[in-house]
Amino acid sequence: MKKALKIIGIILVVFILLVFLAPVLFKGPIERSIKKSINNNVNATVSWEELDLSLYKSFPDALVTLKNLSVVNKEPFAGDTLASGEEIKLSMDIPQLFKSGDEPLSINELILNRAYINVKVDPLGNANYDIAKESASTTQDTTSADGGLSLDVQHYEINDTRINYLDESSKMYLRLSEFNHQGTGDFSASTTTLNTKSEGLISFEMDSVNYLKNHKLKLDADFELNLENQKYTFLENEAYINQLPLTFNGFVKINETNNEIDLTFKTPSSDFKNFLAVIPETYAKNLDGVDTTGDFMLNGMIKGMVDETHIPTLDISVKSDNASFKFADLPKRVENIHMDAVLKNETGLIADTYLNLDKLNFQIDQDVFSAKGNFKNLTENMLVNLAVNGTLNLANLKQAYPLDLDMDLNGILKANITTNFDMNSIEKERYQNVKSNGKASITNFKYISPEIPNDVNIAKASLNFNTTKVTLDEMQISSGQTDANVSGSLENLMGYMFSDQDLKGRFNVQSNTFSLNDFMIASAEAKPEASKKGKAAPATKDEAIKIPSFLDARLDFTTNKILYDDLTLNNAKGTLIIKDETARLENITSNIFGGNIAINGNVSTKNATPTFDMNLGLKSIDIVQSFNGLEIIQSLAPIAKALQGNLNTTLNLKGNLNNDLTPIIASLAGDAFAQILDAKVDSEKMPLLSKLNGKLNFINLDSLGLKDLQTNLTFSDGNINLKPFDFNVKGIKITAGGSHSFDNVMNYNLDLNIPAKYLGSEVGGQLAKLSATELETMNVNLPIGLTGSFDSPNIKVNTKQAIQELTQHIIEVQKDKAIESTKDKIKDYINKNKNQEEEGNTTTQDSTKTQENDKEPLTKEEKEKDREDKIKEAAGNALKDLFGKGKDKDKK
C-alpha cells in the first residue's frame, strides 16, 4: 500500500512539475505550430509580439495568450491592417498543444480584448476580410493535409473593441465603438442555440447622409444556428437603439452565390415616447416624467436575396397620429404631431429605393409647421421633391424640447417654399434644373452664443426663392457696434444645404459702423470667464481667427466707419471676395490719419500659419497719427517718431500673420516708397537725433524743415534696407543709406558735404591761407557712422578723415597758386627778354647785316629750336628767381 501511495505521489509531483514546466519546455514548438496552423489557413500576415502559455489558469484546458496581435492584408489590400488587438486568449484541450502544424487545431474558447477591426469592401466588390485559403476538401472534415482551425467554441467574447465597416461600392459606412459582445453555444454541433449579449455605440452613414451618430445600441438575442446550411434564425430577442425598443423575427441564410434575408421588426408598444427615445441621448436627455399622448409605430420588413445586382425588398414605415409631448421641467407642449413616412423598395434593385414623407406636422402654441415630400433614386442621382410651410417662434424650441445648444435663439421664422431638383444638377451647379418657389423670412432674430462676443440681432431678413437662385431682398443686422443693411443673391443655397457645397453669393453691404472687433473671438476654453457669461471674449494672438471655409462670396460694401483694433477708417468702400479660406481685397479706399488709403491684396487662413500679400497706398497722411496707429510704420521707419508733418507712401508687403491676423513683423518681405511732403524735426523724441544734434555744432536739427524728401526701402529676412538718397539741409548736402533690423539694430552711414569753415577750429591756421572767396566755396565730406539702436545709438563722426581731406584741398590750392605765380613770372621774363632783344637788333642792324651777308641764313627748324632754348633759359632763370632766394638765405 505504501509503495502504491509512493508511486501515486511521484506521479502527482511529475504531473505538477509538467504543468509548471510545460510552458517553458514546449512554448517554442507550440508557438511554431500555432503560426503554421494559422498561416496554412489565411491569406494574410498574422503576427504577435509575445505568446504566453499556461496550464493551470484554465485547468483542465490550456490557455494560450497572444499579445499585440495584428493581421495585415495581402493583395489587393496589401499593407492594410485588417485587425489588431492588445490581447487574444485561446483556450483548448491540452493535447491540442502537441499537434503538428499540419493537423487541425480545435479551440474551445476565444476572448479578444481592446481590438480594432477594419473591414473594407472596394468598388469592385473585393472584401479585405476574405482571407481564408481554399481548403482541399469541401466538407467539414478538418483532418485534411493542409491542417486547419476547428472552432469548437463553447464561449467567446469581444471586449472594448472598435469595428469599422466601409463598403465603397454602396457608399455605406458603419462604425461600432466601445463594443462589447459575448456568445455561448456549441459550434461543434451542426445545429445549436447561441445566446448573445451585445452593447456599444453605433453610427451609420450612407451616400454621405448620416442616419445614426453614436446611438447607444443594446441587443440581447438568442439565435438558432444551422451551421451545416449556414442559416441563422432569430429566437427570443430584444434590442434598444438609445431607448427605442425593437423586436426581430426571421432569419439570414448564407449561400454560395448570394445571401438570403427574411426579417421583420417592430416596436413592442405604440407609446409616442418610443419616438423620443430614438433621438440621441445628448439631445433627448432624460425621458423620465415626459407626458405623451398619441401613438408611434415603427414596422419594418426586409426580405429577399442579396447579390451583386440585388438588395432585399424593403418596407419600413413610421407613423404617428395626433400625438403630443411635454417635458416636466419645460413650459411648452408640442402637440398635433402627425407623421407618416415610408422607406420602400419593391423590386430588389437598389436604384428603386425611395422615401415618401407624406406628412409631418407639429404645433407649438399658435405656430403650426408642416412638411411633405418624397426622395427617389436614393443611392444614385437622388430626386428631391419637398414642400415646407408654416410659422415658428424660435424661442419656443428650447421651451418645449431640452436642446443642448450653446446659444439662445429668438425670432419669428416664416416659410412657404416648394423645391424640386436632382442631386446631379446641384453637384454640377446646373441650377437651371432646380425648380424652387416661395418666400422665407425671419424677424426680430436674436442669436447669443459663446462663439461670438456680442449678440447678433436681425431686425428683418427675407429670402425670395425662384428657379435659378435665391434672392436676399433685405437683411438688417446689428452686433455690438456694427450695423449693416445687406442685399444680394445666393447662387447655390440648395447645394449648401443638401450637397455640402460652399455657400456662394454676391452681396451689397451698406453700413454706418462696422467693427471687426465684434467678430474677433476667443475660444471658450481660453476664456472660461467669458463662457460663464454666455459670450466670448475678444481674440488675442493666442486664439486663431479663421476665414470660413464654406463661403464663396463677393461683398461690395460702403461704410461710414470701420473699426479695427485701435484704428478707424472713414468713408470706406470696395470689394471683399471670400473663397477657399482666403479673403481678397479689391480697390478698397478709405480716409485715415488725415489722408487717404488704397488697399489691394489677400489674407489666407488655409494653412496652419495665416499669410497675407498686400499693396497699400497712403496719401497725405499725418506722420504722427500713422506712427502711433500702425506698428508696421514703427518698424519700417522708427525715425518717423521724431517727425511732424505729412507723407505719401506705397507699401508692397507679404508675410505671415499671428492668429489674430496681425503681421509677424520678422516675416515681412517687400518694398516701399516714401515721400515726406513737409515735416519738422523734434530731436528730443528720438535719442538718435538728440545725440547726433549734440555732436554737430554747425547744425541744429530741431530747426530743420524737410520737404519733398523721397526714399526707397526694401525688406526681407528681418532687415530693412534703405537705398542711398540725397537731400539738403541748410545748404548741406547729405547722402544717407544703410539698414536696420526689425528688432531695432541699425547700421547706417551719413555723408555730409559741409563748408570748410565749419572745421576752422580743427585745422588751426591753415584756413588763413585761403582767401575769403575760397573759404566760402570750399566744401569737405564729413562721414558719420550710426550703429547700435535708435534708442541707444553709437555715433562715430569721422572728423579725422574730413580734416585730411580739407588739408589736402588747401595744399592743392597752394600748389595751384604757386603754379599760377610761376607762370606769370615766366611770362614776364619772356616779355622782358623779348623787348631787350628788339632794342639790340635795332642798334646792331647794320653791322649784323654785314656779318649775315658773310653767313648762310638759318633754316625754319633751326629758328624754332633757337626759340625753345631761349624759353627754357628764361623759365630756368624765373624758377631760380622764385626758389633761389630761399636757398641763398639758407646758405647764408
| DSSP-derived secondary structure for 305-365 | EESSSB--EEEEEEEEEEEEEE-TT-S--EEEEEEEEEEEESSSBGGG-EEEEEEEEEEET
Identify the residue whose cell numbers are 469599422.
164
Question: 165 and 272 share a domain?
Answer: no
Among 16-25, 68-77, 700-709, 759-768, name the most confident range: 68-77
Residue 342 β-bridge partners: 317, 356
| pLDDT above 90 (res 151) | no
Identify the residue whose cell numbers are 441563422.
232
Q: Which three cell numbers stand for residue 709?
A: 524728401
What's the rounded mean pLDDT across residues 254-280?
83
Amino acid 19: pLDDT? 44
Q: Which helix (H) or strand (E) holds 177?
A: strand 172-184
| pLDDT above 50 (res 291) | yes
The answer to whether residue 294 sits within a structural domain is yes
67-93, pLDDT tens digit by residue? 898 888 888 888 888 889 899 888 877
For the chain, give the mean pLDDT. Answer: 77
CB 491 within 8 A of CB 505: yes
Question: 299 and 158 share a domain?
Answer: no
> SS3 for 743?
coil
Distance CA 107, CA 188 (A): 10
What's the rounded mean pLDDT across residues 494-502?
71
The answer to whether residue 250 sits within a structural domain is yes
| pLDDT above 80 (res 426) | no
Short-list 400, 401, 334, 333, CA closest to 362: 334
Please state the φ and ψ torsions of residue 815, each to the nearest 5 degrees. -60, -45
Amino acid 173: pLDDT? 87
Among 377, 404, 431, residue at a domain's last position: 404
Distance CA 486, CA 471 (A): 11
Short-list 842, 825, 804, CA closest to 884: 825
CB 229 within 8 A of CB 255: no
729-770, pLDDT tens digit by residue? 777 888 888 988 888 888 989 888 877 666 655 555 555 555
The answer to whether residue 267 sits within a structural domain is yes
Distance CA 63, CA 387 (A): 63
Residue 571 β-bridge partners: none
Distance CA 32, CA 39 (A): 10
The answer to whether residue 371 sits within a structural domain is yes
Ramachandran category for residue 587: left, alpha or beta (phi over 0 → left; psi -120 to 50 → alpha)? left
Residue 591 β-bridge partners: 570, 596
More confident of the two residues 513 and 800:
513
Amino acid 889: pLDDT? 40
Distance CA 115, CA 178 (A): 10
Q: What confidence tier does 640 reach under pLDDT thresholds 50, 70, 90?
A: confident
Q: Which three cell numbers stand for residue 220?
A: 440581447
Distance CA 673, CA 617 (A): 10
Q: What confidence tier does 416 reach under pLDDT thresholds 50, 70, 90?
A: very high
Residues in the chain: 892
Helix and strand numbers (H, E) in the chain are 14, 40
Distance CA 225, CA 156 (A): 15
Q: Which helix (H) or strand (E) holds 264?
A: strand 259-266
Identify the residue whose cell numbers are 536696420.
740
Question: 264 and 157 share a domain?
Answer: no
Question: 260 and 372 share a domain?
Answer: yes
Q: Longest Cα pair distance anywhere in the chain, in angstroms? A: 188
> SS3 for 48?
coil
Distance CA 285, CA 282 (A): 6
Q: Which three cell numbers stand for residue 714?
A: 526694401
What's the rounded mean pLDDT across residues 136-156?
52
Among 404, 431, 460, residue at a domain's last position: 404
Cα→Cα distances 860→231, 857, 863, 869, Å: 142, 10, 5, 15
Q: Which three cell numbers stand for residue 250?
A: 426571421
What's the rounded mean pLDDT across residues 253-265?
88
Which residues fall within 8 angstroms of residue 340, CB to CB, at 6 or more apart? 318, 319, 320, 357, 358, 359, 360
Ramachandran category for residue 289: left, alpha or beta (phi over 0 → left; psi -120 to 50 → alpha)? left
Question: 275 and 150 share a domain?
Answer: no
Q: Which three cell numbers stand for residue 255?
A: 449561400
The answer to whether residue 174 sits within a structural domain is no
Short-list 33, 66, 64, CA closest to 47: 66
Short-list 648, 882, 690, CA closest to 793: 690
More confident of the two residues 573 and 496:
573
| pLDDT above 60 (res 153) | yes
In one-letter notation, the amino acid at residue 481 is: Q
| pLDDT above 90 (res 382) | no
How many Å separate Cα 841 from the centre of its chain?
108
Question: 152 and 251 share a domain?
Answer: no
The pTM (predicted TM-score) of the whole model is 0.60
The answer to whether residue 467 sits within a structural domain is no
Ordered DSSP codes for 233-258? EEEEEEEEETTEEEEEEEEEEE-SS-
What's the DSSP call for residue 457?
A: E
Question: 261 and 381 share a domain?
Answer: yes
In 565-626 the beta strands, taken as DSSP E runs, fall at 567-579, 582-592, 595-604, 611-622
Question: 155 and 270 share a domain?
Answer: no
CA 731, 732, 733, 739 dihedral sign is negative
How many Å separate Cα 431 from the centre of its chain?
31
| pLDDT above 50 (res 610) | yes
Q: What is the 3-state secondary structure (H, E, C) of 362-423?
A: EEECCEEEEEEEEEECCCCCCEEEEEEEEEEECHHHHHHCCCCCCCEEEEEEEEEEEEEEEH
Amino acid 316: pLDDT? 93
Q: Which three cell numbers stand for residue 607?
A: 494653412
Question: 64 and 160 share a domain?
Answer: yes
Amino acid 558: pLDDT? 94
Short-list 533, 501, 536, 503, CA closest to 519: 536
What is the percent of the chain where pLDDT is above 70?
73
How many Å separate Cα 523 from the centre of its chain?
16
The answer to whether residue 446 sits within a structural domain is no
Q: What confidence tier does 359 reach under pLDDT thresholds 50, 70, 90?
A: very high
In one-letter notation, the amino acid at residue 733 is: K
The answer to whether residue 188 sits within a structural domain is no
Amino acid 890: pLDDT? 44
What's the rounded mean pLDDT across residues 358-379?
91
Q: Which three cell numbers stand for residue 129?
A: 476580410
Question: 246 and 388 share a domain?
Answer: yes
What's the DSSP call for residue 764?
A: G
What's the rounded mean pLDDT across residues 291-297?
89
> SS3 for 169?
coil
What's the rounded mean pLDDT across residues 600-615?
89
| pLDDT above 80 (res 477) | yes
What is the percent of the chain where pLDDT is above 90?
19
Contacts of range 137-144, beta carbons closer than 8 Å, 24 or more positions apart: 140/228, 142/104, 142/106, 143/103, 143/104, 144/104
> SS3 for 831?
helix
Q: Which three cell numbers stand for residue 695?
A: 555732436
Distance CA 70, CA 80 (A): 11
Residue-wise over 324-343: b if at least 16 C-beta within 10 A, else e?
bbbbeeeebbbbebbbbbbb
Q: What confidence tier does 5 reach under pLDDT thresholds 50, 70, 90?
A: very low
Q: What confidence tier does 56 reach under pLDDT thresholds 50, 70, 90?
A: low
Enclosing domain of residue 71: 21-132+146-169
What's the DSSP call for residue 95?
A: G
| pLDDT above 80 (res 144) | no
819-877, pLDDT tens digit by residue? 666 566 566 656 665 565 555 555 555 554 545 555 556 665 665 566 556 555 544 55
How many separate domains does the chain show? 2
Distance CA 663, CA 324 (A): 57
Amino acid 358: pLDDT? 93
Question: 254 and 359 share a domain?
Answer: yes
What's the DSSP call for residue 499?
A: S
Distance CA 516, CA 547 (A): 13
Question: 62 and 159 share a domain?
Answer: yes
Among 495-499, 687-691, 868-872, 888-892, name the most confident range: 687-691
Identify the residue whose cell numbers are 408642416.
370
What's the rounded mean pLDDT across residues 251-264?
88
Q: Which three cell numbers stand for residue 839?
A: 632794342
**Percentages of the chain per state (helix, strand, coil), in multiples of 5:** 25, 50, 25
Q: What confidence tier does 328 reach under pLDDT thresholds 50, 70, 90?
A: confident
Which residues fall within 8 angstroms of residue 658, CB to CB, at 6 or more apart? 541, 610, 664
Among 404, 435, 450, residue at a domain's last position: 404
